[in-house]
Chain A
């Protein structure tokens, strides 16, 4: 029997090593992120009020690549500090093929800790999404391409900006008109204001939905499509955020100009948001766990009803 400890334990080390590789292949994406890519801690700050509405904002996530897994790890770290209750997705939930294994690779696996913790997702459709995703229960769409729901005194409107037909416009106007929620927040894929070099503002869509937003007192709008983070200067009193860089990234694409209040296009990012009475607080966190933007928004006064 060998007395050299390396020789003695070599078979066991080999077996454990092979098993480790097999387990990693099953539970991790093909490209495993290097440990250095994910910081050990997050700079996420806790919410101010534990009774507030707290949510996560993700956009353009469904790549299934290393970036998505890095960001999802940070997202879960943020939750330990900032216990958001649900997540909104601003589209491009699954890129490329949409086979069952793609849903696993591009959604279920990266967000497993959140799903296990019963954090509800409320998705909207991006241009890369098959509209039949609305039947996938974990996306929380209840079989609808566009829908609305309320969390305490916040009414959310998830729109399908890929296809803004007359039915959706009629529905949106009715829902906005009927809602007496203190806060109204819309989210959808295509930003109607954007400094993106690749796409820019969706002027067509803006012509249709912005008048309704103004008339019925929309407070905040989240969008994606542009693969970066941008906080825009308030447009006609409405606050707009683009959060389409939670996995995809288009580095250097922000053409900073009159619209931009803050832009971040050098790394992937996501947002955590708290609505507490008349105040909305937000933090935008990078793939490496740095807070790259944060702030407070005070709820705008409701528009006067027209006589």
Chain B
């Protein structure tokens, strides 16, 4: 029994790891030998910093459930990563239905010389979505049972970075910003750059939505409405001072 559990765990980690690097084959070609030996920028050349302080662990386990859990009846188990992605995509589709309904109620966004038209339209769309999502709750899209999957992706990504790289990313994130679901992202704050390497590991989003990091949270942001759609808190690790 113990052997079976261990084997299952090893297999699950392997599958999860494969999931985390699933884009390798579709990624642009890797640099040549000469390229990889070229001088790297200050970030790459920097020494490693002390280990990250682990973020607040998610409820339950700090890691996703085994990716391939043996079913009680001996049938093939559930691929947790696949299930998480599928559930996530279903929730995204549900959100898009609301977004599209809201869009049908506001004037079409067109290219204009008048920035007021752009900001007015953004506000109108945000209000329309807020009205349609009055009962929205944190975790509606980042469903609690699959949050560990997302947390692991983010934390693994940070763990593989150099200390200087981690610091550069974290330093740029908006701090002390109150993040709440179904509220407008503060227009005076920068939208911190989303690390391109991390983006490749997360499930794809439609153009209406994007991932952003704010403080220690991963948020889903409606691009046209500038609205915070969902939040996954305590994802970004902290760096020891």
Contacts and interface: CB of A to CB of B under 8 A. Distances in A.
Interface of B: 23, 26-32, 34-35, 38-44, 109-116, 118-119, 122, 164-165, 168, 172, 187-188, 190-200, 204-205, 207, 210, 223-224, 226
B123 to A, nearest CB: 11
A169 B28 contact: yes
Contact of B187 (A98, A138, A164): A98
B226 A210 contact: no
A193 interface: yes
Contacts of A190: 193
A203 B41 contact: yes
Nearest to A143: B111
8 contacts: A127-B190, A127-B191, A131-B191, A162-B194, A201-B44, A208-B200, A209-B28, A255-B42
Closest 3 CB pairs of A and B: A201-B41, A200-B42, A103-B115
Contact of B193 (A103, A137, A162): A162
Nearest to B28: A211
B115 A136 contact: yes
A183 B123 CA distance: 41
A67 B187 CA distance: 23
Contacts of B118: 132-133, 135-136
Contacts of B199: 163-165
A192 B194 CA distance: 14
Nearest to A95: B190
A16 B81 CA distance: 74
Given A130-B187, A259-B41, A204 B196 contact: yes
Contacts of A208: 27-28, 196-197, 200
A207 interface: yes
B31 A211 contact: yes
Contact of A137 (B41, B112, B164, B200): B112
Contacts of B112: 135-137
A214 B200 CA distance: 21
Contact of A201 (B43, B111, B193): B43
A209 to B, nearest CB: 7
Most chain-B Cβ atoms within 10 A of its Cβ — which of A102, A135, A173?
A135
B196 A200 contact: no
Contacts of B197: 204, 207-208
A45 interface: no
Most chain-A Cβ atoms within 10 A of its Cβ — which of B115, B194, B195, B207?
B115
A38 interface: no
Given A201-B43, A211-B31, A215-B29, A135 B109 contact: yes
Interface in A174-228: 189-190, 192-197, 199-212, 214-215
Contact of A162 (B23, B191, B198): B191
A261 to B, nearest CB: 12
A211 B30 contact: yes
Given A132-B226, A200-B164, A97 B188 contact: yes
| Interface size class of chain A, counting residues whose CB lies under 8 Å from the partner chain | 35 or more
A211 B29 contact: yes
Contacts of B204: 165-166
A197 B43 CA distance: 9
A41 B203 CA distance: 55
A212 B172 CA distance: 27
Contacts of B42: 194-197, 200-201, 255, 257
Contacts of A162: 191, 193-194
B15 to A, nearest CB: 22
B193 to A, nearest CB: 5
B111 A130 contact: no
Nearest to A215: B29
B38 A100 contact: no
A232 to B, nearest CB: 9
Interface in A121-180: 127-133, 135-138, 142-143, 161-167, 169, 173
A137 to B, nearest CB: 5
B31 A142 contact: no
Given A97-B187, A98-B187, A137-B113, A201 B40 contact: yes
Contact of A135 (B29, B31, B110): B110
A174 to B, nearest CB: 12
Given A200-B164, A203-B43, A173 B28 contact: yes
Contacts of B172: 127, 199
Contacts of B29: 211, 215
A175 to B, nearest CB: 13
B111 to A, nearest CB: 5
A239 to B, nearest CB: 14
